[in-house]
Amino acid sequence: MSLSLPGSLVSSEWLAAHLDHADLVILDGSFKLPGVTPVAAEDFAARHIRQARFFDIDAVADHDTALPHMLPSAEAFERYAADLGISNHSVVVVYDTPGLMSAGRVWWTFRTFGHDKVAVLDGGLRKWLAEVRPVTDVVDPVTKGSFHATFEADAVRSKAQVLANLESRTEQVIDARSAARFTAEEKEARPGLRSGHIPGSFNLPFNALSNPETGEIRDIKTIREAFESAGLDLSAPVIASCGSGVTAGALAFGLHLIGKDDVAIYDGAWTEWGQPGDTPVDTGPATRGDAK
């Protein structure tokens, strides 16, 4: 019998019950900032959910740009997915170590390449471990899959499109970075970047969407209220941004959970926008009158 997801968010109970299903592919999409050790791949090698494969956000990327982990081409993603044992019929469940930090990026990547049989594990590895569920350091061999990608261009925004939006204001921009980075009270970790935010953008740190104790996603009502309190008009389209395109995926996922899918991610994010140049930068808190 084929496997169907109960939704875009699955519980540890659901995953444990379907762990050995032939259609299921589990991906550890954990990510750490440059310079943080041990790196995510080393964490995976030491401990992961049985049968999980490591989705390396830095490797599954466009290597012809200096910007970090930008989306690869559809053809390149087909090869990456197939090498992970993923086919178009596969049901993909992705997790990260904190609960919802980088798993949303992996979820969004699959959907951007036309694969909607993908869900995030609620609470990630943190909850799995808290429930004393089994983990392993054994990396199982993978049978190559057969994956065809269909690129969904509406899911992505470029710098040029975000610049044009400053004039048109047809889309709202929301930033997943910490409040201190957004306001420029705290400098960016990546060298050479200016501090601040895209003019007219709102701020909702990605970790506001999950319980800090368990890593579990907050309830739908709380998520909706968080976005509205940040200033978003949930009837208007949204561009999610962050430091380098990773945690913006958490915001996109949270918006999806409350039924909002007219959301794109600015893939270059602050790593591109904040470089010295002619992109305008604001500091201080969000000004709600700046955005429509």
Strand pairing report for 48-49 and 135-136: antiparallel
Give every CB contact of residue 281 below 8 A, 6+ residues apart in sequence: 194, 195, 196, 197, 198, 199, 273, 274
Strand pairing report for 9-10 and 118-121: parallel
Neighbours of 162 (CB within 10 A): 22
Token pair of 241 as six digits:
């941004």
Q: How far apart are CA 61 and CA 44, in angstroms?
A: 19
Q: How far apart are CA 287 and CA 65, in angstroms?
A: 33
Active site annotation includes 281: no
Nearest Cα residue to 102 out of 10, 181, 208, 206: 206
190 neighbors 67 (Cβ within 8 angstroms): no
Of 91, 106, 149, 242, the active-site residue reads: 242
DSSP state of 197: B
Nearest Cα residue to 253 out of 228, 231, 220: 220
123 neighbors 99 (Cβ within 8 angstroms): yes
Q: How far apart are CA 169 and CA 198, in angstroms?
A: 12
Token pair of 84 as six digits:
């992970």
H or E element that contains 174: strand 172-175
The catalytic site residues sit at: 242
